[in-house]
């Protein structure tokens, strides 16, 4: 019998998840059906239960439901607990297991696909929202020399850093305090690029950078990436690799086999120009 999976979000028309998972299934010989569900804003839990009751085995979760998915889950793995959000659910009987693969997918893209080591690196993460929260535990596991989280509201960055204190040192910063600092890797986890805006990061943070990474994908040369390019950063990337890598992690969690990702990433990558 074909196993059923889905991605749920609202809106959902833009999602690439069905194409990605169909590609994974074909490559690994897995018999699955993967669909997209536009969940009602006032009926997320009902939509999840209906899918599970109809035989669904698991779901990816995208905006705006990651927090609701976390609350709905009966069993939360550590990455999901620390992030306070989940992007993947697995159904086993009456149990709903939750994990968060966004951060581990980002680390895989940076270290394996882009070939940039995070161990011993000075890393700057812009933003202290859900995307940043999901990234911190996988980042700390890479043992960077320094991990700084910068945010418009310093108190938000400080609270985020404090919540991860038992796992490693995270330095909270306002944007104004970044002047004169240098970083090997700069990652934009803010939503600024969705509105073609630039987070207020000083250009000199890029002086020694090896990589500037934009979590938003498919937007070409965003203001953040343009600033990095003009500052001389040799390697620029958007979030398409993270998208595929986190999907591969969820696929492996569900199916027990991890698909190769490189060819699909290459096919989906849009030149940054």
Q: Is 74 annotated as a binding residue?
A: no
Q: Is residue 137 situated within a structural domain? A: yes
pLDDT higher than threshold 80 for residue 273? no
Q: How far, in Å, are 16, 44, 49, 138 from residue 39 at the CA level? A: 16, 6, 11, 29
The answer to the question of residue 80 being in a domain is yes
pLDDT at 130: 86
The proportion of the chain whose per-residue pLDDT surpasses 70, expressed as a percent, equals 100
Domain presence at residue 261: no
- 233 shares its domain with 123: yes
| Nearest-angstrom CA–CA distance, 72 and 50 | 13
pLDDT band at 66; cut points 50, 70, 90: very high
Q: Is the pLDDT of residue 1 over 90?
A: no
CATH code (residue 37): 3.40.50.10860
Q: Which residues contact 16 (CB under 8 A, 6 or more apart)?
A: 243, 268
Asked if 90 and 253 touch (Cβ cutoff 8 Å), the reply is yes
Q: Tell whether 217 is in a known binding site.
A: yes
Does 245 reside within a domain? no
Residues 111 and 62 occupy one common structural domain: no
- Count the domains in the chain: 2
- Please check if 263 is assigned to a binding site: no
| Residues acting as catalytic residues | 66
Confidence of residue 204 (pLDDT cuts 50, 70, 90): very high
Mean pLDDT of the region 133-153: 97
170, 194: one domain = yes
Residue-wise pLDDT tens digits, 7-21: 999 999 999 999 999
Any idea what the CATH number is for the domain that residue 125 is in? 3.40.50.720
Residue 228: which domain range?
103-240
Rounded average pLDDT over 117-133: 95
Q: What would the mean pLDDT of 27-50 be, rounded to a whole number?
A: 98
Q: Report the alpha-carbon distance of residue 1 to residue 4 in Å, rounded.
A: 9
Considering the domain architecture, whether residues 29 and 90 belong to the same structural domain is answered as yes
């Amino acid at each position: 019998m074909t196993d059923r999976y889905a991605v749920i979000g609202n809106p959902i028309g833009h999602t690439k998840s069905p194409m990605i998972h169909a590609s994974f299934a074909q490559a690994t010989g897995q018999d699955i059906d993967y669909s997209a569900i536009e969940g009602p804003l006032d009926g997320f839990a009902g939509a999840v239960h209906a899918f599970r009751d109809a035989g669904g085995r698991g779901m990816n979760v995208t905006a705006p439901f990651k927090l609701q998915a976390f609350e709905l889950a009966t069993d939360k793995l550590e990455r999901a607990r620390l992030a306070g959000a989940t992007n993947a659910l697995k159904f086993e009987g009456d149990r709903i297991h939750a994990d968060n693969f966004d951060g581990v997918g980002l680390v895989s893209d940076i270290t394996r696909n882009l070939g940039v080591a995070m161990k011993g690196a000075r890393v700057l993460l812009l933003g202290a929202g859900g995307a940043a929260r999901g990234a911190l535990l996988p980042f700390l596991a890479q043992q960077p020399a320094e991990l700084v989280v910068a945010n418009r509201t310093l108190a938000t960055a400080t609270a985020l850093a404090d919540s991860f204190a038992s796992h490693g040192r995270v330095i909270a910063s306002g944007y104004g305090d970044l002047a004169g600092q240098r970083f090997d890797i700069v990652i934009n986890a803010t939503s600024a690029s969705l509105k073609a805006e630039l987070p207020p990061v000083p250009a000199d943070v890029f002086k020694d950078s090896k990589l500037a990474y934009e979590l938003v994908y498919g937007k070409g040369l965003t203001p953040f990436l343009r600033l990095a390019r003009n500052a001389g950063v040799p390697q620029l990337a958007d979030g398409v690799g993270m998208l595929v890598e986190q999907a591969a992690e969820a696929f492996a969690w569900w199916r027990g086999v991890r698909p190769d990702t490189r060819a699909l990433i290459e096919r989906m990558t849009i030149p940054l120009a």
